[in-house]
Amino acid sequence: MNKILRGVIKFRQTIREDLVKQFEDIKNNPKPTAVMFTCMDSRMLPTRFTQSQVGDMFVVRNAGNMIPDAPNYGAFSEVSVNTEPAALELAVKRGASGICGCPKNFDVASPMDHWVRRNGFNSVKRLNERLHRGPSLMKYDSEVSPSQSFEAMIDPMDKLPVEDKLSQINVLQQLINICSHEFLKEYLESGRLHIHGMWFDIYKGEDYLFSKDKKRFVVIDENTVTDLLAELNSRYPLPEDKDGAVAFAQSN
């Protein structure tokens, strides 16, 4: 995490200004002309080797660069509920810039509607709770790995639009979803694996890290990075090169 946070600071000091200008140019109307499926191999840098700019391309990464076969796709047979078919539909058929919430008009033949409804329900439920109760503490409990449970206050100053509130909630929900996998329990409970939630504001080019101490997302900048590193080092004192992998749930 030390390397990642320092990377965010370097981003702020170098290419952030140019990227923010690109974000401003396309605003809410990106027109991507390609969708690329690639392996999650850390050596693969698709946006670099294609020299893609903001809004140019959808990128879907997974283990092994695999896309499920769907010979029975259609309204009267099983629809593949995987991220890859959902991404294909989003890129080819809908051309949207993002997904906000569960679909209101559900299409039984739509992989994307199935994907979002099945996997986004808890995030939308928490958003409704946040909107109803206001900026109060919300509990995120992990039954499989209790040590990973935490509390969070989403947008305590109530300044973010609804879609950004949902986006932050969704990041934290993914942390709990990661913890639900039994094969990770021994790594999480022994401290060999740590998970962190980051959120990116695409309009301002700001990276945020969820602070379990402060129970909220904190912008990563020159004024906060020292305290954030101190919190991480107090919670995860072992050197990261001996401590194992780091899992992320990041959204924009």
Q: Which residues are annotated as a binding site?
A: 39, 41, 100
Label residue 158 exposed, middle or buried (CB < 10 Å: 0-12, 13-18, 19+).
Answer: exposed
Label residue 207 exposed, middle or buried (CB < 10 Å: 0-12, 13-18, 19+).
Answer: buried
Of 148, 130, 150, 131, nearest to 140 by C-alpha is 150
DSSP state of 79: P
* Angstrom distance (rounded) from CA 43 to CA 88: 24
* Angstrom distance (rounded) from CA 181 to CA 131: 29
Annotated binding site for Zn(2+): 39, 41, 100
DSSP state of 5: H
Q: Residue 131: helix, strand or coil by DSSP?
A: helix
Contact 153, 135 (CB under 8 A): yes
